[in-house]
Chain A
Amino acid sequence: MRWGEIIRRLVLVPPTLFGVAVIVFVLLRVVPGDPIAMMVPPGASEADIGRLRALYGLDQPILQQFASWLGQVSSGDFGRSISVRQSVSDLLLMRLPATIELTLLATLIALLIGVLAALTGILTRGRPAEWAVDGGIGALLAIPDFLWALILLLLFGVLIPLLPISGRIDPQIDIGFHSNFYLIESLLTGRFGVAFALLHHMILPALALALPFAAIVARLLKASLVEAEDQDYAQIARARGYTQSAILLNEVFPNALIPTVALGGVQVTLLLGGTVLVERIFSYEGIGNMAIDAVINRDFPLIQGLVLTFAVMFIALNLLVDLVVTLLDPRLRHG
């Protein structure tokens, strides 16, 4: 039964995260690159280096460091960032909402473009318009998100400078938010001007993330629609004289949605992974951008916190997709 499967996977979450924690912790200490070596200026002696190492707890044996870190993590404390000198948990809570909002907006745009493209393709089957849609889907899919980022940056930032190309909000605007979900908060509190300013900044990075994902949605949905169109219920509706559009929207589309959500939903994790480079290119202040700085600075506590956060998000997304598919598909819902 599908519900049983979801419960089984929920039970597996803690050991999975533990495994991720072990791997990232050990890898960081095995791979060359030492945050203290990067910190010491000319003139520091071995004793000075040792003093700094002790200050950041890096002089302890790896097992002891791991045990101590794990103890902290279990109580929700990811330690203190070496480069930023703030609590990793606070930093994640500050930056994660920016990435979540960007991912949600990108997903929304991708679904909109993907569904429209798939429906257009089906409604124009066998005609040149379908070839154009298929060609467009192929082009969107062929270009990765970071290249879309550069193309959009040049197109709408330089050639036709319509949209801002850096940051999350205009530096001249006084923000005064109570949460770090700026867009959601501004929409909920009716500050539509601020919401517009935020969207103005988010649209290019969101579009860069959305375009390849939109192509995946379009391709999956179109294939599912083609398959569903040949099913008995579609044939019967056709025999009863329903219009093509009515059959498509009322009979075919809901059934085609299930495999699209099942397969396309998993692709959202790729979209999330894409935020690392796209956020960097647009200087967007999410956790992806922060991850690059953390790696450059060999900020062990921050990298560990970020990897665990990404892992939790990936697991949660996969579970969410399974849940949605279970809700959509009566066969799964009723065993």
Chain B
Amino acid sequence: MMSSLSRRSVLQLAGGAATLPLASGLPGGDAVHAATPGTLTIAYNVNLPSFDPTVGLSAVNPTIQSIYQSVFDPYIGQAPDLSFKPGLLTKWGWNEDRSKITLELRKGATWHDGAPVTSEDVVWSLQRAADPKGGNPIQFVWSKVGNYKIDGNTISGDVLEFEPTLFKWMAFLTGYVLPKAYYEKVGAEGFEKAPIGSGPYRVDAFERNAFLRLKAHPGYWGGKPAFETVVFKFITDPTSRVAEMESGGSDLTFEIPYEEFDRLKAKPGLAGETKPVSDIAMIFLTDVDPMLDRNVRLAANHAIDKKAIVDRLLKGYGVPISTLEAPGYAAFDPSIKVTFDPELAKNLLAKSGYTTEKPVKFTIQTTRGFKPKDYEMIQAIVGMWRKVGIDANIEVYEIAQHFELRARHALAPAAFYNWGNAIGDPSTSTGFAMFGPSPHCAWKGKDLVERIGPLWGEKDEAKRIAGYNAVDKYIAEEGEVIPLFQYVQPIIYKKGLTVVAQSNGMILPQLIKPA
């Protein structure tokens, strides 16, 4: 049950209140003020809990990675379209039988204190990440390679267990190179107080929960960024971020309600851009009654008009999907379609003895306010289901509860969730979401364990992708999950800026320039 004065209700009120200037036609509604010259100020949607990008809760928070990638360099870079490009490593790859990896470190890269980035730094970072006592949440990936050897700028390592996504992880969560000598000198606490990296910006000032001020790293290997100073203002409330843009306090913000996005981008002095990102809305189905009935699962899939949900609730900002692979992901297959067909849904339910008068009943869990219009979306879906003979009871939960319930395989028969996959690999979407032994999977059926299992160790990349295509097709035919749509990220910024939106959702200040 929600309290009448919960934070969510405050934010909902806030959302309504933020529309006041426009609705009232008051003159201040058009006020957008000038940016600070030479400084880029970003109204950022989350706080930065910790500077070490390889350890703890913040290391696996995709939203914080924009800040980390401003200060630290990932091993491998990622282009706006999710493809991979040289980062601190200029070359990387497996040997023929996938028993060894070879990495080539970029020459001339320097830490913010001026010291050169060395192969020892890279190996130390990889070994630290693989240490079970180190607290790296992705340790299970990094520990699959060891026995590193250094030869100048070339590093080789033995593959202890084949992990096809190893290099993809080198571009994302916890895949950062840290300065060995500096870290060992100052220790973990010292590093938190005065972190240094090799990224385009160095830390100049940090007020926890308030702001982070960065200055351009003059020796950056990728060239000096356009803005000398970047300020991340931590403004977690979306209404306050909207107000920041209207008051001229910030130059750019994102993750705001779509209604506000449309309103702000129409204002003089502001521009807007949207980009589909590697984050999808989905409904987990748990393999308990009544979801063990294939007809119920398929009916639940076919009864949902995803386009109507995107158009009406998200103002068109979303891309309907039929599998857990969104456009742009490595295993996206546009030929797999799950159609909106309420008649088919009714017929399927009738086969199992369910009608609108005698509906199948189950609970669907959802967050409320965690993602844009999440609760409203589930309300709409429940309405669509009711028309074909499904009577679903909505239960609201917090995202923390979702994680716990999912890990215990105790979710309701249907549970709304959003699944991010910034590396775009099928193993980190279909793989972990649908493979029974994974603690992140709600469908524990043997059918999928048998189909996905062999793909974990598949060394032929083309075969691996084709294998996941086949799994996605099978899941769609069996209706074992309900993919809904790919999220679209709204970005609002002051006119006069050139912003490069990234498919992984990151807002990188080094890619923002004065027009």
Contacts and interface: CB of A to CB of B under 8 A. Distances in A.
| Same assembly | yes
Interface of A: 32-35, 37-46, 48-49, 51-52, 55, 81-86, 91, 94-95, 144, 146-147, 150-151, 153-154, 157-161, 164-169, 171-172, 174-175, 277, 280-285, 289-290, 292-293, 296-299
A159 B57 contact: no
Contacts of A81: 49
A281 B5 CA distance: 14
Interface string B180-218: 000000001100100000000000010111110100000
A82 B236 CA distance: 20
Contacts of B50: 83-86
A82 B401 CA distance: 17
Interface of B: 5, 7, 10, 13-14, 17-18, 20-21, 26-29, 31, 33, 36, 39, 41, 43, 47, 49-50, 52, 55-58, 60, 132-133, 135, 137-141, 173, 188-189, 192, 205, 207-211, 213, 231, 233-237, 239-240, 243-244, 246-249, 397-401, 403-407, 427-428, 431-433, 437-440
A283 B241 CA distance: 10
B17 A154 contact: yes
A293 B61 CA distance: 13
A94 B20 CA distance: 36
A8 B117 CA distance: 64
Nearest to B248: A161
A283 B240 contact: yes
B39 A85 contact: no
Contact of B137 (A40, A160, A171, A284): A40
Contacts of B41: 171
Nearest to B242: A158
Contacts of B428: 42-43
A34 B135 contact: no
A171 to B, nearest CB: 4
Contact of A33 (B189, B205, B243, B398): B398
Nearest to A146: B10
Contacts of B26: 159
Given A159-B29, A283-B210, A283-B234, A38 B57 contact: yes
Contact of B439 (A40, A85, A296): A40
List 5 tightest A-B contacts by C-beta distance, closest first.
Answer: A159-B28, A33-B400, A42-B432, A37-B403, A285-B209
B56 A95 contact: no
Contact of B21 (A95, A158, A283): A158
Contacts of B43: 166
A292 B401 CA distance: 16
Contacts of B137: 39-41, 44, 48, 52
Given A43-B432, A51-B139, A154-B18, 9 more contacts: A34-B404, A40-B439, A43-B140, A48-B139, A85-B50, A165-B249, A166-B235, A171-B231, A280-B237
A42 B233 contact: no
Contacts of B49: 81, 83-85, 293, 297
Contact of A154 (B21, B47, B52): B21
Nearest to B43: A166
A298 B207 contact: no
23 contacts: A32-B400, A33-B401, A34-B400, A38-B399, A43-B438, A49-B439, A95-B209, A150-B17, A153-B239, A158-B243, A158-B247, A161-B33, A161-B246, A166-B233, A166-B244, A168-B207, A168-B210, A172-B231, A280-B236, A281-B10, A281-B237, A285-B209, A293-B49
Contact of B47 (A144, A169, A293): A293
Contacts of A55: 133, 135
B14 A150 contact: yes
A42 B137 CA distance: 10
A132 B416 CA distance: 51
A284 B55 CA distance: 26
A239 B72 CA distance: 80
Nearest to A161: B247
B245 to A, nearest CB: 9
A304 to B, nearest CB: 16
B233 to A, nearest CB: 6
A158 B192 contact: no
B209 A157 contact: no
Nearest to A46: B439
B236 A283 contact: yes
